[in-house]
């Protein structure tokens, strides 16, 4: 039994035998050949909001890393943005949308959430700036969150835009902070400072600077050195499967509902006003 366990760890380390660097402009990904740890950096100025193209890149990269048998992944934002981890889903994708593109966007969003939420390797988000709406969602998909502070904010603020965070957004948060706190949070579209997020358990650690936050992320990933990758994957799967299975079973229904809902005049009006307020 012990021998088999060792072989799993050894073979996983061996598979990661080259340093890969993927720079697809909006997304940079490097795999450290010694440690087997990937760093994926979102790089879409000015605020890393998630367009259809960025969604595709994130999903493609996660699926590649899945095949590469990496040991873990850090997800973060390019440092030059300074104060934004991810400004959320690109509201322009929803405002006066082209129906074909909107359908593609929503399908990709579902697929990307499933890929990121269910990775078979450990993941950490190093939240080096504001992380709102879909930005909070991708951070919450990771197994561990380290947030730089104290001046950034994080939360599912969708109701502030006049939209409803889908069930799987809400479930992702409830799995982290508990149903009651998540309910209060999403209804009010609440955003939390780094300290507040730490206090309610939305993030696991805080850090005054990015380098330190990154180190903490690596420490978390290293804590799995002696855990069999198979045991990790199966345990995570059991833990997260009830939430992901709901979306797998209801993908089409969820898609059709959101697709129609997004195009209603009242939602469009709210989105237009919100976009305008951002520009001011
Ligand atoms: C039963 C179930 C039914 C469900 C049906 C509904 C399903 C709906 C699913 C949709 C869920 C939506 C999720 C989201 O993520 S919505 C977006 C949430 N994000 C936000 O609200 C953040 C908004 N942005 C900000 O607060 C600030 O920009 C930020 C703090 C991130 C940075 O501030 P900063 O001062 O640095 O930058 P600016 O505000 O000046 O912004 C610069 C330019 O970027 C534009 N911008 C910002 N955020 C977005 C965005 N999310 N999408 C598109 N564009 C964005 C901003 O307008 C500025 O543009 P200009 O330079 O042109 O002025």
What spacing in Å lies between the alpha carbon of 190 and ligand 1's midpoint? 15
ipTM of the complex: 0.96
C-alpha closest to that of 57 among 23, 104, 81, 89: 23
CATH class name, domain 27-278: alpha beta
The rounded distance, in Å, linking the Cα atoms of 84 and 261 is 29
- Residue 205 pLDDT more than 60? yes
Query: Percentage of the chain with pLDDT > 70?
Result: 91
Q: Is the CB of 278 within 6 Å of ligand 1?
A: yes
The rounded distance, in Å, linking the Cα atoms of 92 and 155 is 20
C-alpha closest to that of 276 among 130, 128, 123, 162: 162
What spacing in Å lies between the alpha carbon of 274 and ligand 1's midpoint? 8
pTM exceeding the 0.90 threshold for the entire prediction = yes
- Residue 230 pLDDT more than 90? yes
Beta bridge partners of 31: 38
pLDDT of residue 279: 85
**Bond before 46 cis per omega within 30 degrees:** yes
Q: 256 catalytic, yes or no?
A: no
- Average pLDDT estimate for 148-165: 96
- Average pLDDT estimate for 161-175: 96
pLDDT of residue 69: 87
Q: What is the pLDDT of residues 96-141, one digit of tens each?
A: 999 999 999 999 999 999 999 999 999 999 999 999 999 999 999 9
Atom of ligand 1 nearest to the CA of 267: 6
Name the residue of 53, 55, 88, 260 whose CB sits within 8 Å of the most ligand 1 atoms, as the mutation to test its pocket: 88
Report residue 180 as tokens. Answer: 């009651």
Beta bridge partners of 85: none
Q: 89 catalytic, yes or no?
A: yes
What spacing in Å lies between the alpha carbon of 89 and ligand 1's midpoint? 7
Q: What is the pLDDT of residues 5-54, one digit of tens each?
A: 222 222 233 333 345 555 558 999 999 999 999 999 999 999 999 999 99
Atom of ligand 1 nearest to the CA of 90: 52
Active-site pick, 61, 93, 158, 205:
158
* Average pLDDT in the chain: 92
pLDDT of residue 2: 28
């Amino acid at each position: 039994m012990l021998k088999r366990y060792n072989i799993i760890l050894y073979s996983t380390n061996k598979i990661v035998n080259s340093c890969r660097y993927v720079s697809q402009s909006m997304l940079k990904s490097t795999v450290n050949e010694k440690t087997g740890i990937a760093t994926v950096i979102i790089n879409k100025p000015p605020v890393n909001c998630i367009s259809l193209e960025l969604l595709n890149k994130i999903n493609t990269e996660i699926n590649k890393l899945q095949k590469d048998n990496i040991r873990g992944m850090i997800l973060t934002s390019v440092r030059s943005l300074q104060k934004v981890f991810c400004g959320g889903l690109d509201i322009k994708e929803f405002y006066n949308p082209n129906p074909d593109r909107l359908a593609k966007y929503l399908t990709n969003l579902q697929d990307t959430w499933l890929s990121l939420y269910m990775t078979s390797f450990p993941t950490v988000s190093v939240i080096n700036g504001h992380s709102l709406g879909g930005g909070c969602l991708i951070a919450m998909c990771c197994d561990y969150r380290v947030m730089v502070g104290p001046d950034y904010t994080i939360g599912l603020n969708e109701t502030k835009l006049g939209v409803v965070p889908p069930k799987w957004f809400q479930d992702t948060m409830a799995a982290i902070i508990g149903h009651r706190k998540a309910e209060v949070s999403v209804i009010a579209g609440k955003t939390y400072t780094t300290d507040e997020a730490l206090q309610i358990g939305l993030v696991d650690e805080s850090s005054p600077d990015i380098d330190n936050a990154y180190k903490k992320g690596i420490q978390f990933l290293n804590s799995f050195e002696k855990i069999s990758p198979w045991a990790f994957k199966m345990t995570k799967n059991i833990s997260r499967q009830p939430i992901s299975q709901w979306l797998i079973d209801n993908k089409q229904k969820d898609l059709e509902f959101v697709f129609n809902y997004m195009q209603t005049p009242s939602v469009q009006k709210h989105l237009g006003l919100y976009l305008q307020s951002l520009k001011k």
